[in-house]
C-alpha cells in the first residue's frame, strides 16, 4: 500500500537522524529534505529534472552519481523492463537466455577494437572483481598497478585497487600485490613496472579510470592512456580500464577510451549501463582472455548476473543512447557547460580553484571543503542537486542526464552564479 506523505517524511527524518553522528554536518544539512521517493513518475523535461516528496523541483546534476545518462525513467527503458517482468524476471543460468546473448552482441558491437566477450554482473565493484580474477587467470601473474585517488569499488578485491585510506584501513590486509602510483603520470607506471620486474614480481595488469570520478574528476594528459597501453604491451601486463563512471556516453564518446583510440584488454562497465532503471554491470574482454576463462567456466559465476530483466533494461538503454545520439549531445553540452562554468569561476577566485572535465563529467574544485559544502547547500536550496566526491565536498561533481537541455544548463549556471555571489561573502 502507498505510504502517506507524513509516513514518508518520518522515514526520511529517521534515516537522517540515524546518521547524525557519522556524517559531516555539511552533508546532513544538504540532505535534510531530500528523499529518493520522487513524486514525479511521468517522463518530462528529457528526464533531467525530478520533484521530491515535498513537491520541490530539482535539476539533477548528480544524476544518481552518474547512472541517469538517458534521463530518469526513460519510457523505452521502463517499457522494456515492464514487458520482461510480465514474462520471465529471473531464471536458472542452466537455461540459455536470448536477451543475454543479444546484449552481449550489442556490447561487442559498441565497444572498441576486439573487445567482444562479456561477463554480466550486478554492480561496478563486481565488474572490477571479475577483471582482477580474469587478469590473474590469463597472465598467471599476481600483481597489479593502480593509482592514487583511484576508486574501483569496495568489495575486497576492488577495494585493493581503490586508493582511499579511510575505506581501506579497517579491512587491511587486502589482496596482496596491489601497488598505487600517482594518477595521470605514465612515467610513474613505467617505474613501478620496472621495479616489479627487477624484483621478479611480474605485473598481471594496470588498472585505471580514463578520468577519475570519485577522486574529484581528474582528467589525465591526452597521451596518458596511449602510453599505458604501450607500457602494458612491453611488460606483458593487461590494461584494465574501469569505465564504470565514464562509460555509456558520459564523456562525449560512448566510452572514454575512444577519445584517444586506446583499446584495453578488459573494460569494466556498470552504473549507467542499466539505463538508470536496473542494476547491471559488465566485464568486457578480448577473446584470448575469454578462451582461457572458459577452460573452466565455473571458476567465476554469479546467480543474478545477466538476468533477463536487467538485460532488457541494458538493451533498451543502448538503443536510446544511439537513437538519441546522446554521446554527441554530451560532448556539445559538456563543452558549453565547461566554458560557462570556467567564465563564472574566474570571477570568484577566493571560492573556486578549478573547473575541469570532459563531456558531462565535470568537477568544480573549491578553495576549501567548507566552501564546497556551502556551494552544494546553496545549489540545493535553489533546486540543483550536485554530488560531492568520496567523503567531502572539496570538489563537487556535475554529472546530469546527457539529455539535459540548453535551457536547463543555463538555469544551472544562473543558480550557481547566485550561490557563488553568496558564498563569496564567506570566503
Instruction: Using CB under 6 A, list all residues that contact ligand PMP.
Output: 65, 123-125, 128, 151-153, 209, 213-214, 242, 244-245, 270
Please say which residue, 238 or 420, places its beta carbon nearer to ligand PMP: 238
DSSP-derived 3-state class of residue 312 = helix
Nearer to ligand PMP (CB atom), residue 153 or residue 308: 153
Nearer to ligand PMP, 280 or 312 (CB): 280
**Cβ closest to ligand PMP, residue 152 vs residue 227:** 152
Determine contact, residues 161/207, Cβ cutoff 8 Å. yes
* Helical axes 369-381 vs 406-424, angle rounded to 10°: 130
Query: Which of 250/340 has CB closer to ligand PMP?
Result: 250
Task: Tell me how far apart the alpha carbons of residues 82 and 308 are, in angstroms, rounded to a whole number.
Answer: 11
C-beta of 281 vs 327, nearer to ligand PMP:
281
Nearer to ligand PMP, 309 or 420 (CB): 309
Rounded to whole angstroms, the Cα distance separating 180 from 97 reads 40
CA distance 402 to 71: 7
Q: How far is the CB of 153 from ligand PMP (least distance, A)?
A: 4
Q: How far is the CB of 237 from ligand PMP (least distance, A)?
A: 20
Beta carbon of residue 124, minimum distance to ligand PMP (angstroms, whole number): 2
Work out whether strand 266-269 and strand 57-60 pair parallel, antiparallel, or are unpaired: unpaired
Instruction: Give the nearer residue to ligand PMP in terms of CB position, either 228 or 351.
Output: 228
Q: How far is the CB of 289 from ligand PMP (least distance, A)?
A: 19
Residue nearest to ligand PMP (CB): 124
Joined grid coordinates for residue 77: 527503458
**At its nearest, how many Å lie between ligand PMP and the CB of residue 152?**
5
Closest CA to 30 of 396, 377, 393: 377
> Minimum CB separation from ligand PMP for residue 65, in Å?
6
Give the span between the Cα atoms of 196 and 237, in whole angstroms.
Answer: 12
Given phi > 0 = left and psi -120 to 50 = alpha, else beta, which region is 90? beta
User: Is the distance from CB of 61 to CB of 399 less than 8 angstroms?
Assistant: yes
DSSP H helical segments within 199-239, as ranges? 224-235
**Smaller CB distance to ligand PMP: residue 46 or 400?**
400
Nearest-approach distance from CB 410 to ligand PMP, in angstroms: 28
- How far is it, in rounded angstroms, from Cα 270 to Cα 247? 8
Nearest residue to 126 via CA among 336, 341, 325, 303: 303
Count other C-beta atoms under 10 Å from residue 211's C-beta. 25
Give me the least distance between CB of 419 and ligand PMP, in Å please. Answer: 25
| CA end-to-end span of the chain | 49
Q: Hey, is 326 helix, strand or coil?
A: helix
Amino acid at each position: 500500500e502507498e505510504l502517506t506523505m507524513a509516513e514518508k517524511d518520518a522515514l526520511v527524518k529517521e534515516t537522517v537522524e540515524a546518521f547524525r553522528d557519522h556524517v559531516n554536518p555539511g552533508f546532513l544539512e544538504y540532505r535534510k529534505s531530500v528523499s529518493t521517493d520522487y513524486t514525479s513518475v511521468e517522463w518530462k523535461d528529457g528526464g533531467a529534472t525530478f520533484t521530491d516528496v515535498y513537491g520541490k523541483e530539482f535539476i539533477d546534476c548528480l544524476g544518481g552519481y552518474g547512472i541517469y545518462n538517458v534521463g530518469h525513467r526513460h519510457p523505452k527503458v521502463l517499457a522494456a523492463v515492464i514487458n520482461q517482468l510480465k514474462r520471465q524476471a529471473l531464471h536458472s543460468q542452466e537455461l540459455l537466455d536470448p536477451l543475454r546473448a543479444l546484449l552481449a552482441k550489442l556490447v561487442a558491437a559498441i565497444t572498441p577494437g576486439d573487445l567482444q566477450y562479456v561477463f554480466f554482473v550486478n554492480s561496478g565493484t563486481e565488474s572490477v572483481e571479475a577483471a582482477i580474477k580474469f587478469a590473474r587467470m590469463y597472465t598467471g601473474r599476481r600483481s597489479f598497478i593502480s593509482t592514487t585517488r583511484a576508486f574501483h569499488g569496495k568489495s575486497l578485491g576492488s577495494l585493493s585497487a581503490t586508493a582511499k585510506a579511510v575505506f581501506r584501513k579497517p579491512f587491511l590486509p587486502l589482496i596482496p600485490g596491489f601497488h598505487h602510483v600517482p594518477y595521470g603520470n605514465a612515467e610513474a607506471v613505467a617505474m613501478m613496472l620496472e621495479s616489479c620486474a627487477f624484483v621478479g614480481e611480474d605485473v598481471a595488469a594496470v588498472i585505471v579510470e580514463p578520468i577519475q570520478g570519485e577522486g574529484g574528476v581528474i582528467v589525465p594528459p591526452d597521451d596518458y592512456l596511449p602510453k599505458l597501453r604501450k607500457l602494458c604491451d612491453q611488460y606483458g601486463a593487461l590494461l584494465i580500464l574501469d569505465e564504470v563512471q565514464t562509460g555509456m556516453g558520459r564523456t562525449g564518446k560512448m566510452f572514454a577510451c575512444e577519445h584517444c583510440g586506446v583499446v584495453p584488454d578488459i573494460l569494466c562497465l556498470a552504473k549507467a549501463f542499466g539505463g538508470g532503471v536496473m542494476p547491471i554491470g559488465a566485464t568486457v574482454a578480448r577473446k584470448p582472455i575469454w578462451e582461457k576463462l572458459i577452460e573452466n567456466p565455473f571458476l567465476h559465476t554469479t546467480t543474478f548476473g545477466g538476468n533477463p530483466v536487467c538485460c532488457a533494461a541494458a538493451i533498451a538503454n543502448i538503443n536510446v543512447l544511439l537513437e538519441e545520439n546522446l554521446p554527441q549531445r554530451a560532448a556539445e553540452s559538456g563543452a558549453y557547460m565547461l566554458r560557462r562554468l570556467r567564465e563564472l569561476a574566474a570571477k570568484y577566485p577566493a571560492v573556486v580553484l578549478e573547473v575541469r572535465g570532459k563531456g558531462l563529467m565535470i568537477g568544480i574544485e573549491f578553495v576549501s571543503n567548507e566552501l564546497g559544502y556551502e556551494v552544494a547547500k546553496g545549489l540545493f536550496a535553489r533546486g540543483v542537486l550536485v554530488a560531492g566526491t568520496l567523503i567531502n565536498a572539496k570538489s563537487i561533481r556535475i554529472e546530469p542526464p546527457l539529455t539535459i537541455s540548453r535551457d536547463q544548463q543555463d538555469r544551472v549556471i544562473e543558480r550557481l552564479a547566485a550561490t557563488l555571489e553568496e558564498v563569496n561573502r564567506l570566503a
